[in-house]
Amino acid sequence: MSPTEQAAPALDHAAAAARFVANDAKAHWHDQALWWVRKKRDAASGVVPDWEALRDAAAGIKAHTLSRLAEYLEEFARNAEARGAQVHFARDAAEHNAIVHRILEERGITRLVKSKSMLTEECHLNPYLEARGITVTDTDLGERIVQLRHEPPSHIVLPAIHIKKEEIGELFHAELGTEKGASDPKYLTEAARQHLRQKFLEAGAGLTGVNFAIAETGGVVVCTNEGNADMGSTLPRVHIACMGVEKLVPRRQDLAVFLRLLARSATGQPVTTYTTHFHGPRPDGELHIVVVDNGRSRQLADKVFRRSLSCIRCGACMNTCPVFRRSGGYSYGFIVPGPIGSILAPGRDASAHRTLPFASSLCGSCSDVCPVRIDLHHEIWAWREEIVRRGLLPWPKRAAMKVAGLVLRFAWLYRLTGWLARRLLPALPRGLAYGRWNAWGRQRELPPMPRRTFRELYRSHRDRS
């Protein structure tokens, strides 16, 4: 690791979050919008009597699948090919992008419609294809909005959660010719519907993500509410489905478990509007399935962090996270933000994303809502230890930890430090007490120094009784 890498993280979460909360009204609005989704999740899961048993089952199926992933992948590929699909294997993002481009190029296809796929975001497929003359249209409404703004999604399920309808109204006025000043969601959605219909009708190929891949049948399952994945996979002749290796489930019946959990956890719906099971191409068409590793087998080898591979991308951990809600998706600087992103990102590049494991209060709410029982806050904690072990902690924090470790090791030193602090801090001039070193004091006042220590209180209490 070069020193320059150490010096500059890709994005400092705290600094980026400070920029987000600078707009106080919008930050509060963002917080409330996500909390509303969290409450819908609570209502939807609360009426399912076997909810906790479902979470156990989902965690169990995922753990089992991960323990035999190679076998299931072979079974899946064999069955998918027997049904007429073409299965491609990509070790990394570059291979994935090259495969998709080759499929399009060989068929002379220049227009691609895409439905939501976090994997293609991870691989930066859009810029790769655009640089090679392919017109790529993201067709999920939220993704189309952020694409027109030349932004990445800020949330994996709600890509445009950070944007106000008035901003979308202005964007659509400029890009789609809607009336100036119009911001009614219904009106704007209708405009997008007409705009995207044309894109679907013109496209030479449709690309979708994959929510689940069934080893037993060789099928892939895609879940959407808008129907954009269905438009994109049924109108053009060529359908390309891109998936990470971790999307596998062994049997069709396992889907019942995940489908009962996914939409309820994501948006509070009992199930997505469309849950499409693709088994082979349409009679006159082609189905290409691109299976991607891109670091997943390495993560699978890691005892602590492999459980995060069970993630079904519902976004519940983001909606509930007090830090995510108040700092926004962009403050994470990684394609998957929030608690799960804080685990996946340092797994990709620990140095670049070393601030993310600290973007958490470790309250554990993420682990409580996770439908597949990933031990999110434990893994975030484990990443903090890992960041320290790899020497990636910035020096002020490292020095502070060293001092704290020393003070806590010796009782006499601890008492002495407390004694000094109680007397010196109130006497210091404000400029010194609230200097740059005092991160706590940036937004809040230090508490008044107590007259008596806990030890003194405890002793007098004991003597009384």
Longest CA–CA span in the chain (Å) reads: 89
54 belongs to the binding site for another protein (CB under 8 A): yes
Crossing angle between the packed helical segments 69-82 and 51-67, to the nearest 10 degrees: 90
Under 8 Å between Cβ of 380 and 357: yes
Whose tokens are 């801090």? That residue is: 425
Stretch that binds another protein, among 18-26, 136-144, 411-419, 444-452 (CB under 8 A): 136-144
Q: Which is nearer to another protein, 141 or 205 (CB)?
A: 141
Q: How far is the CB of 356 from another protein (least distance, A)?
A: 23
State CA 306 to chain mean position distance.
Answer: 16
State how far the Cα of 371 lies from the Cα of 168, in Å rounded to an integer.
32
Q: How far is the CB of 292 from another protein (least distance, A)?
A: 9
Q: Which of 70, 401, 428, 446 binds another protein (CB under 8 A)?
A: 70
Q: Which of 12, 122, 293, 379 binds another protein (CB under 8 A)?
A: 293
State how far the Cα of 454 lies from the Cα of 465, in Å rounded to an integer.
17
| Interacting residues of 271 by C-beta distance below 8 A, sequence separation 6+ | 259, 260, 262, 263
State how far the Cα of 347 lies from the Cα of 378, in Å rounded to an integer.
15
138 belongs to the binding site for another protein (CB under 8 A): no
386 belongs to the binding site for another protein (CB under 8 A): no
Q: How far is the CB of 235 from another protein (least distance, A)?
A: 5
Q: Which is nearer to another protein, 163 or 356 (CB)?
A: 163
For the record, the structure tokens of 127 come out as 């810029």
130 belongs to the binding site for another protein (CB under 8 A): no
Stretch that binds another protein, among 51-59, 384-392, 418-426, 430-438 (CB under 8 A): 51-59
Q: Which of 1, 256, 424, 439 binds another protein (CB under 8 A)?
A: 256
Q: Which is nearer to another protein, 224 or 351 (CB)?
A: 224
State how far the Cα of 270 lies from the Cα of 313, in Å rounded to an integer.
16
Q: How far is the CB of 193 from another protein (least distance, A)?
A: 6
For the record, the structure tokens of 445 come out as 């006042």
Q: Which of 19, 28, 197, 423 binds another protein (CB under 8 A)?
A: 197
Residues numbered 327-346 forming contacts with another protein, rule: CB under 8 A = none
Q: Which of 121, 122, 140, 386 binds another protein (CB under 8 A)?
A: 140
Q: How far is the CB of 8 from another protein (least distance, A)?
A: 31
68 belongs to the binding site for another protein (CB under 8 A): yes
Q: How far is the CB of 118 from another protein (least distance, A)?
A: 16
Stretch that binds another protein, among 194-202, 328-336, 347-355, 388-396 (CB under 8 A): 194-202
242 belongs to the binding site for another protein (CB under 8 A): no
Which of 122, 120, 123 shows the shortest CA–CA distance to 140?
120
57 belongs to the binding site for another protein (CB under 8 A): yes
Burial track 393-419 (b if 16+ CB lie within 10 A, e otherwise): beeeeeeeeeeeeeeeeeeeeeeebbe
Q: Which of 245, 336, 344, 393 binds another protein (CB under 8 A)?
A: 245
Provide the terminal-to-terminal Cα distance of the chain, rounded to the nearest Å. 60
109 belongs to the binding site for another protein (CB under 8 A): no
Q: Which of 46, 127, 133, 270 binds another protein (CB under 8 A)?
A: 270
37 belongs to the binding site for another protein (CB under 8 A): yes
Stretch that binds another protein, among 14-22, 56-64, 344-352, 411-419 (CB under 8 A): 56-64
Q: How far is the CB of 141 from another protein (least distance, A)?
A: 4
Q: Which is nearer to another protein, 246 or 386 (CB)?
A: 246
Q: Which of 22, 301, 409, 429 binds another protein (CB under 8 A)?
A: 301
315 belongs to the binding site for another protein (CB under 8 A): no
423 belongs to the binding site for another protein (CB under 8 A): no
State CA 304 to chain mean position distance.
Answer: 19
Q: Which is nearer to another protein, 91 or 389 (CB)?
A: 91
Stretch that binds another protein, among 120-128, 276-284, 358-366, 407-415 (CB under 8 A): 276-284
Q: Which of 12, 121, 226, 379 binds another protein (CB under 8 A)?
A: 226
State how far the Cα of 242 lies from the Cα of 222, in Å rounded to an integer.
11
